[in-house]
Amino acid sequence: MSTKVTTSSLMKMKQEGKKITALTAYDYPCALMVDRAGIDLILVGDSVGMAVQGWDTTLPVTMDEMIYHTKLVTRACTRALVVGDMPFMSYQSSMDKAVENAGRFLKEAGATAVKLEGGADVCPAISAMAKAGIPVQAHIGLTPQSVHQMGGFKVQRDEERLLKDAKDVQAAGAFSVVLEGIPASIAEKITATLTIPTIGIGAGPSCDGQILVLHDMLGMHDGFIPKFVKKFVDISALANQGLAEYIKEVQDGSFPSQDHSYK
């Protein structure tokens, strides 16, 4: 069995210049597949709202839904570090509620850490969680929970603010930070400045690691794919082929055959 990945493992990988691999997963079979492949970090993202639930944003996802999906993922993982993503309004209303909800990911769902969106504005929450013994992954740049405030899913280019946010979340106690929708040159400066690992998504090749939504990179759907996504296989096309063949064989009577029938 491979050694379990920890927050210390990720820090060591940055120090040694080894790239960190990360993907999302939302259920047991996908998490099992990803974990066995050797991925370092699995994020149970609130992107489940868009990838699985069919919403246009991540905003409708609830805390109970995130606990449920995280439970499914942690049951499958023996190697990857599992991070539970704190959904919209699970940490913004009060510090006590934020720490309580973060704790649920570890206590009820078996996650190792949590992720929350925001820079300097969420540093008090990061500090409170860290003091409670909860590892926190920060997330700056394009933060999907702020989609309406940002006026859409837009690349973030304010270098001064982004560098400040990165330094602030590190100082607050985050063990790593996701950089989303940031020009590669800015992400490179942030990565060189911080001692904690940076995990990029649409932030260029210089980050310490990369993360993508599993459903996007495996081509599980044929809808909109962001510019930063590479489709490594087209499962949607393969599935369509298999479904068409199934319909044909049922309709013409060739399935089930004797090979698929009990004697």
C-beta separation of 9 from 40 below 8 A: yes
Residue 115 corresponds to which amino acid?
Answer: K
The distance of Cα 167 from the centroid of its chain, to the nearest Å, equals 21
The maximal CA–CA distance of the chain, rounded, in angstroms, is 73
Confidence at residue 147, expressed as pLDDT on a 0 to 100 scale: 85
Residue 210 corresponds to which amino acid?
Answer: Q
In this predicted structure, the answer to whether residue 200 has a pLDDT above a threshold of 80 is yes
Question: 117 an active-site residue?
Answer: no
C-beta separation of 191 from 164 below 8 A: no
The CA-atom distances, in angstroms, between 128 and each of 124, 132, 170, 216 are: 6, 6, 14, 34
> Cβ of 185: how many Cβ atoms within 10 Å?
11
The three-class DSSP label of residue 130 is helix
In this predicted structure, the answer to whether residue 1 has a pLDDT above a threshold of 50 is no
Confidence at residue 26, expressed as pLDDT on a 0 to 100 scale: 98
The pLDDT of 20-49, averaged and rounded, is 98
DSSP string for 64-89: HHHHHHHHHHHHH-SSSEEEEEPPTT
Confidence at residue 224, expressed as pLDDT on a 0 to 100 scale: 84
Q: How many helices (H) and strands (E) does the chain have?
A: 11, 8
> Looking at 100, 117, 159, 180, which residue is catalytic?
180
> Cβ of 13: how many Cβ atoms within 10 Å?
18
The pLDDT of 233-257, averaged and rounded, is 97
91 Rama class: left (phi>0) / alpha (psi -120 to 50) / beta: alpha
Confidence at residue 153, expressed as pLDDT on a 0 to 100 scale: 85
Strands (E), 10-119: 20-24, 41-44, 81-85, 113-117
Confidence at residue 150, expressed as pLDDT on a 0 to 100 scale: 80
pLDDT per position as a tens digit, 74-86 = 999 999 999 999 9
Grade residue 13 by pLDDT with cuts at 50, 70 and 90.
very high
